[in-house]
Amino acid sequence: KQEVTQIPAALSVPEGENLVLNCSFTDSAIYNLQWFRQDPGKGLTSLLLIQSSQREQTSGRLNASLDKSSGRSTLYIAASQPGDSATYLCAVRPADSWGKLQFGAGTQVVVTP
């Protein structure tokens, strides 16, 4: 059974520091991995999607890497801003059941001015 873990559960950094968020999964048979952002009381906003054949994806200050063989993904956010404060979730799409995203519990990030 696929297990998705995110460490740390919470993170607080001063503005300007780089953020490093980790996601690990137990079964490497995946189609892709997706990173989401969730603001309090809101739905999920997709940040980056990495296909299983890719090693990384970049969008602006965000960079996500994927090492499928070791079951790990890392989301880097450069030069953090207070507006980056949110909960970040990773989700894998299993190869045997592509309709179901399996989510980690999330990392709650606070960026202090």
Residues interacting with other proteins, by CB under 8 A? 31-32, 34, 36, 41-46, 49, 51, 89, 91, 93, 97-106
Q: Which residue type sits at 30?
A: I
Shortest spacing between CB 7 and other proteins, in angstroms: 14
Closer to other proteins by CB, 8 or 16: give it. 8
Q: Which residues contact 23 (CB under 8 A, 6 or more apart)?
A: 4, 5, 6, 33, 35, 72, 73, 74, 75, 90, 104
In the bound complex, what is the minimum distance in angstroms from residue 14's beta carbon to other proteins? 28
Whether the Cβ atoms of residue 48 and residue 64 lie closer than 8 Å to each other: yes
Least CB distance to other proteins at residue 100 (A): 4
Q: Give the chain's count of helices (H) and strands (E).
A: 0, 11
Which of residues 53 and 69 has its CB atom nearest to other proteins in the complex? 53
Nearer CB in complex with other proteins: 80/87? 87
Question: Min. distance of Cβ 2 from other proteins in angstroms?
Answer: 11
Which residue, 80 or 104, has its beta carbon nearer to other proteins? 104
Cross-strand partners of 46: 36
Question: Comparing C-alpha atoms, which of 111, 110, 103, 113 is closest to residue 36?
Answer: 103
